[in-house]
């Protein structure tokens, strides 16, 4: 049976596809490997990510999304086509109805580019768009349809978006280009500065996931990594501790905290009271950093809970939003800017 309606989470780090009745059918890194000679696609997703930093000059490995928006249009389109084909089969026969989520803090040109890329890749026109905080909240099963303040903070690869939602509408939202990728960069920079060692992007991410923590751990954990010595140019191992990584992440964490704070500061009083009662929900892979929920709770005074499945809620919510397109669009009509805009 051909799936007709699908939700796509086109993230900076991961692309997920949700099909009603089947759940998540694609969950792969947003990475494409290209042969430089003729620009043909060599690999997409996990296979391409495994090549990162390990290819000869003839192949380049690219992440076509950056900071939540399309950085390379043609490669994004090729990546979407590849995943759509995998889900739907032959795209020229029946085109699927697609809903894609986009960050709340992007321009109309950037939104349009996402819809265009999906249509070019084989989705039926018009592709619907839903703002990510709303999709994330729906996926985290927050009752966003009620007239009450519901706060969600999505920390992905490229962006942190914090929003208060009521009656399917975003009331206050802040978006910052600081999230998981910045944490990786901060770790790379720290290891270079402190240990004179150059490490790759993937190693930095592994360190973050294995020993990274938002607050210093009582019992430190360590990890040995290998990189290239800046002075001798030779490979060398170094042992990193969790507390060094906490230190390396200070600036990044401060920016994330600032984004959350500024939403709280701008939330109307009635809704703010609801948020304090219910707490806020964290989604996105970046929010899985050890004790980030504890740090945010401490620093904002609002109880922060990690969603059940932080990496998948936005995709699930996007698929579910497509099922309720009418309701969502109707509730947006009074808004100046339609949240679910049929592009
Ligand atoms: P996007 O929506 O931008 O594609 P995701 O929500 O898929 O992003 O999250 C990806 C980010 O989450 C990456 O930066 C990844 O390193 C990070 N991440 C995944 N698991 C963890 C973890 N356990 N601890 C910290 N960061 C994590
Ligand atoms: Mg995301």
pLDDT tens readout for residues 100-154: 999 998 999 999 999 999 999 999 999 999 999 999 999 999 999 999 999 999 9
* Alpha-helix residue ranges (DSSP H) falling in 62-123: 73-88, 108-120
pLDDT tens readout for residues 162-214: 999 999 999 999 999 999 999 999 999 999 999 999 999 999 999 999 999 99
CA of 284 from ligand 2 middle (Å) equals 6
pLDDT tens readout for residues 243-299: 999 999 999 999 999 999 999 999 999 999 999 999 999 999 999 999 999 999 999
In this prediction, residue 304 carries a pLDDT of 98
Locate the ligand 1 atom nearest the alpha carbon of residue 179 and give its number: 14
In this prediction, residue 280 carries a pLDDT of 97
In this prediction, residue 114 carries a pLDDT of 97
pLDDT tens readout for residues 151-167: 999 999 999 999 999 99
Between 61-70, 107-116, 326-335, the lowest mean confidence (pLDDT) is in 326-335
State whether the beta carbon of 156 lies less than 6 angstroms from ligand 1. Answer: yes
In this prediction, residue 164 carries a pLDDT of 98
State whether the beta carbon of 67 lies less than 6 angstroms from ligand 1. Answer: no
Instruction: Dig out the tokens for 214 from the structure.
Output: 């938002």
Ligand nearest to the CA of 104: 2
335 has pLDDT over 90: no
Closest CA to 14 of 41, 44, 36, 40: 44
328 has pLDDT over 80: no
Rounded mean pLDDT, 28-53: 96
Confidence grade of residue 332 (pLDDT, cut at 50, 70, 90): low
Rounded mean pLDDT, 22-45: 96
3 has pLDDT over 60: no
pTM, two decimals, is 0.93
Average pLDDT value over all residues in the chain: 93
State whether the beta carbon of 139 lies less than 6 angstroms from ligand 1. Answer: no
CA of 100 from ligand 1 middle (Å) equals 19
Instruction: Dig out the tokens for 221 from the structure.
Output: 């954990």
Strand-pairing partners, residue 70, are 65
How many alpha carbons lie under 13 Å from residue 237 in its C-beta half-sphere? 5
State whether the beta carbon of 195 lies less than 6 angstroms from ligand 1. Answer: no
In this prediction, residue 1 carries a pLDDT of 53
**What is the rounded distance in angstroms from the CA atom of residue 120 to the CA atom of residue 45?**
19
In this prediction, residue 338 carries a pLDDT of 43
State whether the beta carbon of 103 lies less than 6 angstroms from ligand 1. Answer: no
**What is the rounded distance in angstroms from the CA atom of residue 165 to the CA atom of residue 246?**
31
Share of the chain above pLDDT 90, in %: 89
Calculate the alpha carbon distances from 63 to 52, 66, 105, 107, 202 in Å.
10, 7, 20, 21, 13
CA of 131 from ligand 2 middle (Å) equals 11
92 has pLDDT over 90: no
Rounded mean pLDDT, 65-74: 96
State whether the beta carbon of 293 lies less than 6 angstroms from ligand 1. Answer: no
Residue pointed to by tokens 């309701």: 327
pLDDT tens readout for residues 266-279: 999 999 999 999 99
In this prediction, residue 343 carries a pLDDT of 43
**What is the rounded distance in angstroms from the CA atom of residue 310 to the CA atom of residue 286?**
9
Which of 130, 286, 291, 317 to mutate to test ligand 1, by most ligand atoms within 8 A of the CB atom? 286
Strands 97-102 and 5-10: parallel
Q: 132: alpha, beta or left, given left = phi > 0 and alpha = psi -120 to 50?
A: alpha
Length of the chain: 343
In this prediction, residue 229 carries a pLDDT of 97
In this prediction, residue 146 carries a pLDDT of 94
């Amino acid at each position: 049976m051909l799936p007709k309606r699908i939700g796509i989470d086109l993230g900076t780090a991961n692309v997920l596809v949700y099909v009603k009745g089947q759940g998540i059918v694609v969950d792969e890194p947003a990475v494409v490997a290209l042969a430089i000679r003729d620009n043909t696609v060599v690999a997409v997703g996990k296979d391409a990510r495994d090549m990162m930093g390990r290819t000869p000059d003839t192949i380049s490995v690219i992440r076509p999304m950056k900071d939540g928006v399309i950085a390379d249009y043609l490669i994004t389109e090729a990546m979407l086509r590849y995943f759509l084909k995998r889900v739907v089969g032959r795209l020229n026969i029946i085109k699927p109805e697609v809903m894609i989520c986009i960050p709340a803090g992007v321009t109309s040109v950037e939104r349009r580019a996402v819809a265009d890329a999906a249509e070019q890749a084989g989705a039926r026109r018009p592709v619907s768009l839903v703002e990510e905080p709303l999709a994330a909240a729906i996926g985290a099963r927050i009752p966003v349809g009620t007239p009450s303040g519901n706060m969600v903070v999505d920390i992905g690869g490229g962006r942190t978006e914090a929003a208060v939602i009521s009656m399917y509408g975003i009331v206050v939202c802040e978006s910052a280009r600081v999230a998981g990728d910045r944490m990786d960069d901060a770790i790379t920079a720290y290891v270079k500065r402190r240990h004179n060692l150059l490490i790759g992007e993937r190693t930095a991410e592994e360190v973050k996931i294995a020993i990274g923590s938002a607050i210093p751990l009582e019992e430190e954990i360590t990890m040995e990594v290998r990189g290239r010595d800046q002075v001798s140019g030779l490979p060398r191992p170094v042992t990193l501790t969790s507390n060094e990584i906490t230190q390396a992440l200070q600036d990044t964490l401060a920016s994330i905290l600032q984004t959350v704070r500024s939403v709280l500061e701008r939330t109307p009083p009635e809704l703010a009271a609801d948020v304090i009662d219910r707490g806020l929900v964290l989604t996105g892979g970046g929010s899985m950093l050890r004790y980030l929920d504890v740090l945010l709770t401490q620093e904002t005074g609002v109880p922060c809970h990690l969603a059940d499945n932080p990496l998948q809620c936005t995709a699930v919510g996007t698929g579910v939003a497509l099922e309720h397109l009418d309701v969502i669009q109707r509730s947006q009509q009074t808004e100046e800017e339609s949240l679910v805009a049929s592009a």
